Chains A and B, each alone.
Chain A
Amino acid sequence: MSIKEKSKGKNEVNELTRVQELVYEVRVKEVMTSEVVTVSPDTTMRDLMRILRTKKISGVPVVDGGDLIGIISLEDLVKAVADRQRPQDTVGNRMTRKVVFVRADELAVQAVNLFAQHGYGRLPVVDNDGKLVGILTGSDITRGLLRVLSQRYQAEEIRRYRASHIFKDIDSEQTSLILSYHIAAGDFDHGGAATSKLKRALERLGANPALLRRVTISSYEAEMNLILHTTRGGELRVVINPERIVIITEDDGPGIEDAEAAFKPGFTTAADWVRELGFGAGMGLANIKRYSDHASIESLPDKGSRLLAVFEMSPPDKT
């Protein structure tokens, strides 16, 4: 990781990382070649020579009743000729029986490692019963990764396009999208999960990065408030329309005595355990106020609170 003042080529880096990540996601069966030329142990070396020549390949898996039992290559053929074996000698006598193979369900990265480890040009692919189901070369992996990458890229692009045009496509006096999440009290471990979903939704809708950051930080603080400071949790609702984004949270207790004071930095009612977790220093509502264009809270002790934070689409920047 380099420390530089200016950031450049960030997209290239992201693309590269995506390809690297893909090797850990894509399975062998997604990139292998399923149509495999095979021979049986009874195939003569003369026939093998003909097969290698006509198919323009340098090796084939040896299969008996569908089971992978060996592999034979051009090298074995050359050795057989050098040993002056009779041409009617069979594949079964000359093949390599200890075959390095890869399973169809394994990750592509396993195959990459095997190629690097053994230096082979191809790996037979078997299913869980040891039946040959395909063959894999280095270029199969490259081609397969590129295909999967472009498919995923297109799928995300289409999703993003559709989402970002939703307000144009739907004709009404006022179109709003409402995202609702129920937030359970005390569920600290999952805190932020709802906002994480909201962030992805807003990205697809094409929100600009500055606005996205202001909204997600505010939503996250609001979500943590519901988790840490309410009796039974509450609702997090986000209303999105072309003019503004509004975050609303509602809970049913315990409520705040002096709701306006709660916006002051440092105002807190948090218990020690909350503070130990890195929250509850009275900065949550202050942050929401700081990042939003308008924030207000209505609260009645023993009844509950309602928080409203508004983010105007224009002017776009307030950081």
Chain B
Amino acid sequence: MLTETFHGEAEIASGGAADLMSDVLAFTTEKNSLLLSGLTNQQVLRTAEMANIGAIVFVRGKIPPPPTIELAEKLSIPLISCCHSMYQACGLLSNAGLPDNGVASILCQ
């Protein structure tokens, strides 16, 4: 846990992973979703704000710079750092039953 912000009771309806912010923005859903990313700049937070992301997990143990954490507190979005690779982390969450938040890629429509 990297932030003071923590919504213990908040429910996460789905998950997604991307390092490309426009991809995150293309696949957003109505409900709170979880974003896994290897990117730690402030734009991840801005993207999360616009795309109803309920919490962000940074993979490979990445710790974002202080401005990113400050913005997260301001926007009230919890940040988590985990030691798994993106592939492992997605696999674990997917096996645990967290559904995918992507509807369809733009290219596949």
Contact = CB atoms under 8 A, between A and B. Distances in A.
Contacts of B96: 3
Interface string B1-38: 00010111111110000011111011010111000010
Max chain B CB contacts within 10 Å: which of A10, A24, A217, A266? A217
A278 B19 contact: yes
B21 A13 contact: no
A199 B42 contact: no
B85 interface: no
B32 A265 contact: no
A101 B47 CA distance: 44
B41 A278 contact: yes
A144 interface: no
B39 to A, nearest CB: 5
Contacts of A88: none
B12 A284 contact: no
Contacts of A195: 46, 50
Give chain A's interface secondary structure class: helix
Interface in A2-21: 2-5, 7-10, 13, 16-17, 21
Contacts of A8: 11
B32 A7 contact: yes
Contact of A277 (B12, B30, B43, B98): B43
A192 B49 contact: yes
A188 B22 contact: no
Max chain A CB contacts within 10 Å: which of B13, B30, B47, B98? B47
Given A3-B96, A213-B50, A278-B39, A283 B20 contact: yes
Contacts of A1: 6-8, 10-12, 55, 78
A209 interface: yes
Interface string B40-60: 011110110111100100000
B91 interface: no
Given A3-B96, A3-B98, A189 B42 contact: yes
A242 B67 CA distance: 38
Nearest to A210: B30
A311 interface: no
Given A192-B46, A220-B46, A277-B41, A283 B106 contact: yes
Contacts of A193: 46
Contacts of B99: 5
Interface string A191-229: 111011001000000000110010011001100100000
Contacts of B78: 1
B66 interface: no
Given A1-B8, A3-B97, A209-B30, A281 B20 contact: yes
A4 B28 CA distance: 18
Interface in B62-109: 67, 76, 78, 93, 96-99, 106-107
B31 A17 contact: no
A279 interface: yes
A283 B19 CA distance: 13
B28 A217 contact: yes
A189 B67 contact: yes
20 contacts: A1-B8, A1-B10, A2-B11, A3-B11, A4-B13, A7-B11, A7-B32, A8-B11, A10-B10, A192-B49, A195-B46, A217-B51, A265-B107, A278-B44, A279-B43, A281-B20, A281-B23, A283-B22, A283-B26, A284-B22
Interface of B: 4, 6-13, 19-23, 25-26, 28, 30-32, 37, 39, 41-44, 46-47, 49-52, 55, 67, 76, 78, 93, 96-99, 106-107
Given A9-B9, A17-B76, A220-B46, 6 more contacts: A3-B93, A3-B96, A188-B43, A191-B42, A191-B43, A192-B43
4 nearest CB pairs, A to B:
A192-B46, A283-B22, A278-B21, A13-B9
